[in-house]
Amino acid sequence: MGDYISPRRENNSSLKYGVDSIEGVNSDGEFQPTKALTDDINLKPYKVVRHGDIVYNPSRLNIGSLAYRTEGMCIVSHLYQVFYIKEEHKSLLSAEFLTLYLRRNEFYRYVDYDNFGSQRAEYNLNKLSELLIPLPSPNEQRKVVNVWRAFREIKEQNEAKAAPLMQVCQSYIQELKYKYLLQEIGPYIEECNERNLEGKFTEKDVRGIATSKGLIETKANLDGVSLNSYKLVKSKEIAFVPDTSRRGDKMSLGLNDSDKTYIVSSISSVFKVDEEKILPEFLYLWFCRPEFDRYARFNSWGSAREAFSFEDMKRCKMPIPPIDVQRAIVNIYKYANEAKQIAEEADRLSREVCPALLQHVIHS
């Protein structure tokens, strides 16, 4: 690789760029604003990154902290490695293709194998320059890059749609507090305690309840665990974990928005909603607000372990607008969530399809 790349030797010695220009590279291969403390920091040794540069963290290369710069310039820590494709070789080696090649699991394993160091192993640019890489034709490289770009464009377009729609949705919900009387939801919800007594539902039907407000595939080890006491969560029902002590001040809660029935741990609470008065999706959106997390945490009770019970849930107050208003807000959320899911699927496919296509190109 060393024949085709050159290190970027430009730093911020003149202090032309301030702390607002500092970025880092995460394990998803994306630039992001730094999380480091910047008070009284010396910016002179920081390295300048230009459009077309490839940047990586030498102590985190084995987990994917490498990115291709496509936007304006930024500065990164002097510990980072910054390089670019030499001008005379750009027609032979695409920087984007090289980035995709270096962001494969196979390469991460190679870095772990070939790395050196004691307390912190660092794969520096000298080591990277010694790497032997395949060099498909420019057309073959372009095929891989174009597929990656297509997935990336779908991801970015749908993320751009989802974010403002979610904000609009939450803004409408916020405004309802000033238009409608706050009412306790107790009269409109009913606790469900149906169990998996006959063992009809198995491990594939078990769901965990996340603080991100969703039912997710369980991460628990279910070897030897009886599922007979697990509670059923039917379509449109909401489940939550009463224990609020160790969840970062967030309520673990989720709506079953599928047509399937799932099961959750017996310690969870499950309830259904009177859909003539409140749409389950609308109530769920109310629960997704940070204000509700704070409310639930403040109203949790206990000593060693604090809990927010179903009785506490019944005392929650919220505005209850007409069903058509609720449905309009829910539809906005559905459009936003659909865009979000498309973006996530495009991201997933890019991570699966591009490495496979790249592998095919390399060995064809």
For 271-289, how does the pLDDT look when each residue is reduced to its tens digit (9 = 90+)?
A: 999 999 999 999 999 999 9
pLDDT of residue 114: 86
Model pLDDT for residues 325-348, shown as the tens digit of each residue: 999 999 999 999 999 999 999 999
- Mean pLDDT score of the chain, rounded to an integer? 92
User: Does this chain's domain 5-135 share its CATH topology with 181-220+227-319?
Assistant: yes
Give the model's pLDDT for residue 119: 62
Q: What is the mean pLDDT of residues 127-146?
A: 93
pLDDT greater at residue 246 or residue 216: 216
Q: Global pTM?
A: 0.76
Provide long-range contacts, Cβ within 8 A and 24+ apart, for 48-51.
Answer: 48/8, 48/10, 48/11, 48/12, 48/17, 48/73, 48/74, 48/75, 48/82, 49/8, 49/23, 49/73, 49/74, 49/75, 49/76, 49/82, 50/8, 50/10, 50/84
User: Quick one: average pLDDT of 123-136?
Assistant: 91
Q: How far apart are CA 55 and CA 95, in angstroms?
A: 11
Say if residue 291's pLDDT is above 90.
Answer: yes
pLDDT band for position 304 (50/70/90)? Answer: confident
Percent of the chain with pLDDT over 90: 80
pLDDT of residue 160: 93
Q: What is the largest CA-CA distance in the chain?
A: 74
User: What distances in angstroms separate CA 40 from CA 37, 48, 60, 105, one per listed residue?
Assistant: 9, 19, 26, 38
Q: Check residue 118 and give its pLDDT.
A: 61
Tell me the CA end-to-end span of the chain in Å, nearest whole number. Answer: 21
Please give the CATH number for the structural domain made up of 5-135. Answer: 3.90.220
**Mean pLDDT score, 149-154:** 94
Topology of the domain comprising 181-220+227-319: Adenine-n6-DNA-methyltransferase TaqI; Chain A, domain 2 (3.90.220)
pLDDT tens-digit readout, 33-70: 988 888 889 999 999 999 999 999 999 999 999 999 99
What residue spans define the domains of the chain? 5-135, 136-164+321-364, 181-220+227-319
